[in-house]
Structure 1
Amino acid sequence: MALLGKLEADVEVNAPADQFHDVFSCRPHHVSIMSPEKIQGCELHEGEWGKEGTVVCWNYFHDGSPKIAKEIIEAIDDVNFSTTFKVVEGDLLKDYKSFKLIVQATPKEKGSLVHWTLEYEKINENTPDPNTLLEFVVHCSKDIAAHLTQAQKN
């Protein structure tokens, strides 16, 4: 059984790609306002909002319990509307040696297509693939898009 894994998912949203990208690249601390049931907070630990190398700490509720993930914003691509987060501490590293989350928003005629990629290395072959986490980020994307499109209407 392979210890390296990759899961991907697409979700269509009504929010414009540039606005969706801006949330993860520059304003991840606003996600708790947009998806409060899932994300309780995102704190700046080092660096500046909107800059590569910035360290953030997420407090979130997943699989029935509160979790923490400390992440480095490894890459921000404002041309392709992509942001890459690398987990450096927290609950995910109990089951995975390494974990990366990449979120990319691609403009469509109306709204955008949000593509999530989870890249990981399991600690052992008994570790499950993070399917529930992929579902979690897809649902967060829908919450964020709903918030962004509601803000446009007001």
Structure 2
Amino acid sequence: MSADLYGKLETDVEIKASAKKLHAIFTHKPHHISNVESHKIQSCDLQEGEWGTGSIINCNYFPDGKPRVGKDRIEAIDEEKNLITFRLIEGDLLEHFKSLALTIQANPKVGGEGCTVHWTLEYEKLHGEIVDPHTLLDFVSELSKDLEDHLLEDF
């Protein structure tokens, strides 16, 4: 693997909702995200397995206002660390990337309410002309912030 084709992007987002609630919606109820953020996520359907396990899910989403499709395998779930990793196995983005994995870890704030959502995007581009997926990282970061009000309610 060529070093210039492999990349890793990370960002943190502060939200007022608890780490447990954020983790729960991405792990056990990602299909609810489209009810709250339909302008970003049109649907998220279970293809194989069960929610909260190493399942396969299919999502229709709108980064940059363009409709996209992605099928993800849930590779890792750590309930104690509020961590989940999705690996893209089919979809539009594989036209540009050989591999793409997205990890979400929600860390409770010490001495306060809310959490810091740490997003990590690891990828390998098909060739050197492909731009790094900063817009995808921005999209998921905005999504976690947009979910904040919903997560502050009981769902």
Task: Give the TM-score taking structure 2 as reference length.
Answer: 0.94
- The residue matched to 1:126 in structure 2 has which SS? coil
Aligned length: 151
Q: Could you say what secondary structure the match of 1:76 adopts?
A: strand
Provide the alpha-carbon RMSD of the alignment: 1.3
Query: What corresponds to 1:83 in structure 2?
Result: 84
Q: Which residue number corresponds to residue 47 of structure 2?
A: 45
**AA of the residue aligned to 1:124:** H
Q: SS of the residue aligned with 1:63?
A: helix
Q: CA deviation at 1:145?
A: 1.5
Structure 2 gap ranges (5+): none
* 2:116 matched residue in structure 1: 113
Shift of residue 36 of structure 1? 1.4
Q: Secondary structure at the match of 1:42?
A: strand
- Corresponding residue number in structure 2 for 1:10: 12
- Between 1:123-132 and 1:59-68, the stretch displaced more is 59-68
Counterpart-to-counterpart distance in 1, 2:75 and 2:33? 18
- Moved >2 Å (runs of 4+): none
Report % sequence identity: 49
In 1, the alpha carbon distance for the partners of 2:82 and 2:72 equals 19
- Provide TM-score, normalisation by structure 1: 0.95
Question: Aligned partners of 1:71 and 1:137: how far apart in 2?
Answer: 15
Instruction: Tell me whether 1:145 sits opposite 2:148 in the alignment.
Output: yes
| Alpha-carbon distance in 2 for matches of 1:133, 1:146 | 22
Q: 1:75: how far off? A: 0.6
Helix, strand or coil for the counterpart of 1:146? helix
Higher mean C-alpha deviation, range 33-42 or range 116-125: 33-42
Residue number in structure 2 paired with 1:19: 21
What displacement does 1:146 show? 1.9
Mapped to 1, the partners of 2:125 and 2:33 lie a distance apart of 27
Match of 2:137 among 134, 137, 144: 134
Give the unaligned 5+ runs of structure 1. Answer: none
Match of 1:103 in 2: 104
Number of the residue aligned with 1:31: 33
